Structure 1
């Protein structure tokens, strides 16, 4: 099912992104019960290093530097399998105003080809009711 050497791909990874104006990254972590790969804290005030406040908190879970494959299907399955058990919690966060999506970074080795999605992956993503988008270079 996977082609870890995916010849047309130079690099790929996926990231679940949760943005909230009301919940802190720590609250999101506690609610989901999964440690994030990275967080961004909401900033209420401006300072010299950050001229504009950040109006939201962000919580990320990524396959970057975890899955060693150039096949985006392996990355998507890794992430989907981690978050399927908490799918209802993600839907609840979305109903409370959080913005949630999956970003798939995909860099072409030679300007040809592209990522592949399998029917099984599309089924998992449909159960999660989370949009996936592709950042292709």
Structure 2
């Protein structure tokens, strides 16, 4: 009897992923001429953050600035408690499970740019995220590229004084 293909994988899901400080998965949509409300209506999903070109938006410092682009974001940050990026991607892909046709329509009929971005902060200056074929297959079916922004920070005792 053959064992399941998943048994050959080197990296099981690990929510405490030892080499990761934190991570998340984000669907970023830049809808060109459309408003972010149009993206919300098309996908039937509420974004975790959105603004239109010309909106006044708060900065980290508490001041206001004018948005230069229209932006729609759905992020797993604050929704998934895991240091394994696969758990974050699974959350995001589950949210998009009923939006395949809407995503394709946006990709084919409008000058929309979209991608999945996965920031990944290393705990000790080494390691990296892993994806399974299931996540890669779902991303491909949605025609979504996936990028990783990997940050390596030195241990506290290695910083210069």
Paired residues for 1:96-115 under 5 Å: 96-115=110-129
Which TM-score applies when normalising by structure 1?
0.90
- State the alpha-carbon separation in 1 of the partners of residues 102 and 38 from structure 2: 12
- State the alpha-carbon separation in 2 of the partners of residues 31 and 5 from structure 1: 36
Paired residues for 1:69-88 under 5 Å: 69-88=82-101
Q: Point out the structure with max Rg over C-alpha.
A: 2
Pairing partner for 1:19 from 30, 33, 57: 30
* 1:53–1:35 distance in 2 versus 1, CA, 3 Å: closer
- State the alpha-carbon separation in 1 of the partners of residues 112 and 142 from structure 2: 15
Q: How far did residue 53 of structure 1 move?
A: 6.0
Paired residues for 1:55-66 under 5 Å: 56-66=69-79
SS in structure 1 at match of 2:91: helix
Q: Which residue of 2 aligns with 1:129?
A: 143
- State the alpha-carbon separation in 1 of the partners of residues 67 and 18 from structure 2: 42
Which TM-score applies when normalising by structure 2?
0.77
**Equivalent residue pairs, number:** 131
Instruction: Kindly indicate whether the alpha-carbon contact (under 8 Å) linking 1:84 and 1:128 is maintained by their aligned counterparts in 2.
Output: no
Pairing partner for 2:50 from 39, 64, 74: 39
Q: How far did residue 84 of structure 1 move?
A: 2.6
RMSD, aligned α-carbons: 1.5
> Is 1:119 equivalent to 2:130 in the alignment?
no
Instruction: Kindly indicate whether the alpha-carbon contact (under 8 Å) linking 2:52 and 2:67 is maintained by their aligned counterparts in 1.
Output: no
Q: Which residue of 2 aligns with 1:28?
A: 39
Flag structure 2 segments of 5+ consecutive residues without an equivalent.
Answer: 1-11, 56-63, 152-161
- State the alpha-carbon separation in 2 of the partners of residues 21 and 124 from structure 1: 25
Larger relative contact order (CA 8 Å, sep ≥ 6): 1
